[in-house]
Amino acid sequence: MNIPIAEAKAKVSELVSRAAAGEEIALTRHGKVAARLVPPATTERLPRIGALKSKIRIADDFDELGPEWSECAK
């Protein structure tokens, strides 16, 4: 939908509602597009709890020091 900016000033609330519903609206000045109202970007978020379940593995010996650390352990 193309709408002149002068007309858009009076209908900004309606235009924002239409954009939020998925419609793209071009605001024109002297017949040329000056700006666009577009629907908000949707971002799919991962659930926080359990999001990385089965994606991370911790070795059984992760807390054991190797022989190269024997000097520091004294």
Alpha-carbon distance 36 to 29, whole Å? 12
User: Within a domain: residue 55?
Assistant: no
User: Within a domain: residue 58?
Assistant: no
- What's the pLDDT tens digit per position in 26-56? 999 999 999 999 998 877 776 788 878 888 8
Nearest to 27 by CA among 50, 42, 11, 49: 11
Residue 43 has a pLDDT of: 73
User: Within a domain: residue 69?
Assistant: no
CATH code assigned at 14: 3.40.1620
User: Within a domain: residue 20?
Assistant: yes
User: Within a domain: residue 45?
Assistant: no
- What's the pLDDT tens digit per position in 7-21? 999 999 999 999 999
Q: pTM of the predicted model, to two decimals?
A: 0.54
